[in-house]
Chain A
Amino acid sequence: MAVPITEAPATGAEPDPLALKPDLERIEIELLLEGIFRHYGFDFRAYAYASIRRRLWKRIDEEGLTSMSALQQRVLHEPAMMEKLLLDLSINVTAMFRDPSFYVTFREHVVPLLRTYPFIRIWHAGCSTGEEVYSMAMLLREEGLYDRSRIYATDINEVVLQRAKAGIFPLDRMQEYTDNYMRAGGKRSFSEYYTAKYGGALFDHSLTKNVVFSQHNLVTDRSFSEFNVVLCRNVLIYFDKTLQSKVHSLFYDSLAMFGVLVLGSKETLRFMSHEECYQQIAPPEKIFRKVR
């Protein structure tokens, strides 16, 4: 059957014609990721392919380059370009009280478990700029648990960790966050937590007094403690299945028995070797309890 082939109208983001040879494109991307790993130590080789391809092309377009190999040349010889690419490749889109129903369920079903512990250790893996860390800190404070909690908030990217530590978030998102906060079962007035300052919303520093921000790479680093709760929401979606499975082993090893694993609302443990080791608490929220 004949398929009509026409030229698409030119748009600014038109990829190089080389991309029309997909197998060659794949080779070039794999070579670039291998080069980045061997030269800089950042391992993106097992990231979900369609997403990484999209973001590499975005960087190519923004630099006015035309091919994957041109990007490789720049990245391998210019550390500053690697810095830029690192920001592109680690997605840092987040929000306070993202998915409010998750926080409601966490209050109802996880907080009672946590009350039984004298000390609560929480690992927030892939915390990005920290919005969800501050959200959890507020929740724990309102439940009277914050003083005996410690949150270890980690990310691969030092730049976003610095922003998380600073605790200044865009003012124009406060309306959205206030709305999320109320629907997440917030018990106070959201505006009590921040003051408008430095052109942004500066959050109460006492929210981070029990938070340790630290760089950690889920792909290459090992477990560093035993936790009662591991939160990793919308981070593993950027990994392929093999890497997801590897990171789930890391989480399993890092959780105390009856500890709680929290994933993003569209993530699953299906087909993971540790699937049988967890029970889902209160579906459809992706909150799992380690039971064996």
Chain B
Amino acid sequence: MPYSIVAMGTSWGGLSAMMKLLGGLPADFPIPIVVVQHRSKDSDRLLVQLLQDATPLHVCEVEDKDLLLAGSVHVAPANYHLLVEQGYLSLTTEEPVRYSRPSIDVMFSSAADTYRSETIGVVLTGANEDGSSGLAYIVKRGGRALIQDPKTAEIPIMPDAAVKAVPTAEVLPLDQLAPRLLELSRGAAKADRRTAV
């Protein structure tokens, strides 16, 4: 089963969890990764910089209509929703969903609508329940769900809610998520390789 997109959501504690997870992936990881991390609406580019320092993948903050690229981590900008289109990303300023903009549920649902069974959803540490209904929707559309084992999460509320919403999801300790993604990526759909940085 080839995968075309990894959709990842996290909140409280997400920075260090993502640094660890993305740090465990190689520069030639073949599936584009899209990240929604809750953050203040005025936060600057520090998040992108810190993630970039932790991984060989190319980390970028999304601008409207950016192309989805293998080897890239596309991070939702503060104060916009991120929507996954076929091969690219769109931003919107629609109302916050469950007090969040960007909303993990909104990004997950659009990924599932666009890439269906080719979607891998990943929920990490966090202090609210955003992401759980989006993860359920990914699975409903035939995609795959991975959840950070709440026992290894800085704040277990978000992964706990996801486990409850998607009982069939794979629940893995943080340090086993990157190896599992690598495993799943073998046989991943051939995506465009980045040609320039």
Contact = CB atoms under 8 A, between A and B. Distances in A.
A54 B63 contact: no
A241 B90 CA distance: 10
A91 interface: yes
Contact of B94 (A91, A241, A270): A91
A9 B163 CA distance: 12
A126 B168 CA distance: 45
B58 to A, nearest CB: 16
Interface string B92-128: 1111000000000010011001101100000000000
Report, as a range, how many residues of chain B touch the other chain: 35 or more
Nearest to B64: A237
Interface string A1-15: 111111111010000
A156 B71 CA distance: 40
Nearest to A244: B65
A131 B62 CA distance: 25
A22 interface: yes
Main secondary structure of the interface of A (DSSP, over half): loop
Nearest to B65: A241
Contacts of A5: 139-140, 142
Given A50-B113, A237-B64, 9 more contacts: A9-B133, A9-B165, A48-B83, A53-B113, A93-B93, A237-B93, A265-B77, A266-B62, A267-B63
22 contacts: A3-B1, A3-B143, A4-B144, A4-B168, A5-B139, A6-B139, A6-B140, A7-B140, A8-B133, A8-B136, A20-B140, A48-B85, A51-B92, A51-B94, A53-B113, A55-B94, A91-B94, A237-B90, A237-B93, A241-B65, A266-B61, A266-B64
Interface of A: 1-9, 11, 19-20, 22, 48-51, 53-55, 91, 93-94, 234, 236-238, 241, 244, 264-268, 270-271
